Amino acid sequence: MQFNSYSYLLLLFPAVAGYWALPARFRAVYVLALSLLFYAAWKPLYLLLPLLVCVAIYACGRKVLAVPPDGKRRWMWCGIVFVLLILCLFKYGQFFIDNVNAALAGLGRSPLSARLAFAMPLGISFYSFEAIGFLVDARQGRIKPFSRSDIALFLTFWPNVVSGPIVRFRELIPQFRAHRTFELAMLLRGMDRLIWGLVQKNLIANNIAGWVDEGFRPQGALLNTTLDNWALAFGFGLQIYFDFAAYSNMAIGSAQLLGITLPENFRFPYHAENPSDFWSRWHMTLSRWIRDYLFFPLNARFRGAPGPLYLSLVGIMALVGLWHGAGWGFVLWGAMHGTYLVLHRIWESLQETRFPRMATSRWVRWGWRLFTLCAVMAAWVPFRAATVGQALMMLRAMFLGFTFRISYPVNFYLVLLAVGLFCVVEPYLGQLISRVEKALAQRQSTLAAHIFLLRPLAYACGLLLFAIFDDRDAQFIYFQF
């Protein structure tokens, strides 16, 4: 059941009404039941997998809290290894077999006959990271005593179980224990995010998707010019941003209807000033997870040894790419981002020691902005291309063989320009809307009109755009991860 489906929207509001009608002590159990039903609506049998992870994490987590300090590390790693084995089997098992067979074929040996016939479980990448983060936090003393239902609710909470945001136990579960009372402002905030997410998905992301899909077809990519490939790179960059931001907004909005605040996941990433800033704006909860559980330990370990640190940085980002999908294109995407981060760190070191005046140079800052935007867009090519070979062919045409003929309808380039311009003004529009809302809310004479007339009118327009541009076959891109 997708967030942008009529079935989800029709069932969401009765579910929310039931939540607020219940006594506070029953609400967490009610949400847990809804979350399990939501997951089972995809494939009932696969509900067993997150439940199995819940059992393992509960058992290991209780041991981590109970045993002496010297035993905590062992139980933490028992849980982490179990989660990673589940993740590798269901997400990377066939990828491993395919690569072994390719190596055997290169050696003239017979390939393995094994083939894994199951589909990748929904949301496995996301709840695996949440489970690992929980165990690390438990070992570090950041987790208070918990119950089985706490763990189950934490790992299966329906708004974020499929594609994030990646939350932490100490962020989510205490909110269910707080027993909030219903507030109209909370409902309106949830509706704002939900409707805007629907518009982002159906009006913007889906309208770019058709042209991007056509341009990245292996047969069509052979004929693409330099201008075509850059347009497709920017097109997919905009598509995946608005698609994933739409999902995140709808997840945050759905949770907000229950009085639950999920962490933000995007903050205008294409306005980033440098590669490091990009990762503080793009998929922010994943970036935070990588920073806290991987980068910080590595920084502490390789302090004063930049060479090993830089190699580790590229390696970690390559693994982040692999986390997104079982394919070498994802690994290349991650390695490219790791290289960008290393280049920026090297520049920062040189700037401090040799070029201190450049720290305040406007030209340098804008140079990094332009580099970051173009580099990020170029990295989307291997992320989206069918094969690494196709990605390298397209990148070669973008940077080496320059041809500027256009191969697609002019409407594609015009839509791309319009969406790009919207991206430029998006943060300023958000600030303007916030100021207008505050001004209206401060005036008692206009407050009722704002709540009961202007806002419902905006919601109606958003739902109308959602219905007009609805494409029932268009899934969220991050569902496959």
Q: Which residues are the active-site residues?
A: 324
Angle between helices 226-256 and 410-442 in degrees, nearest 10: 30
Tell me the three-class secondary structure of 130-171, residue by residue.
HHHHHHHHHHCCCCCCCCHHHHHHHHHCCCCCCCCCCCCHHH
Of residues 164, 365, 340, the one with CA closest to residue 271: 365
Q: How many CB atoms lie within 10 A of CB 17?
A: 11
CA 107 – CA 96 distance, rounded (Å): 17
Q: Prior bond to 165 cis, omega within 30?
A: yes
Phi, psi of 432 (to 5 degrees): -65, -45
Query: What residues have CB less than 8 Å from 103, skipping those under 6 apart?
Result: none
Of residues 137, 139, 173, the one with CA closest to residue 156: 173
CA 340 – CA 379 distance, rounded (Å): 10
CA 34 – CA 184 distance, rounded (Å): 23
Q: Taking the mean position of all CA atoms in its chain, how far away is CA 266?
A: 9
- What tokens were used for 368? 């990094």
Beta-strand (E) ranges in 230-360?
none
- What tokens were used for 347? 């520049």
CA 126 – CA 454 distance, rounded (Å): 37
CA 225 – CA 407 distance, rounded (Å): 7
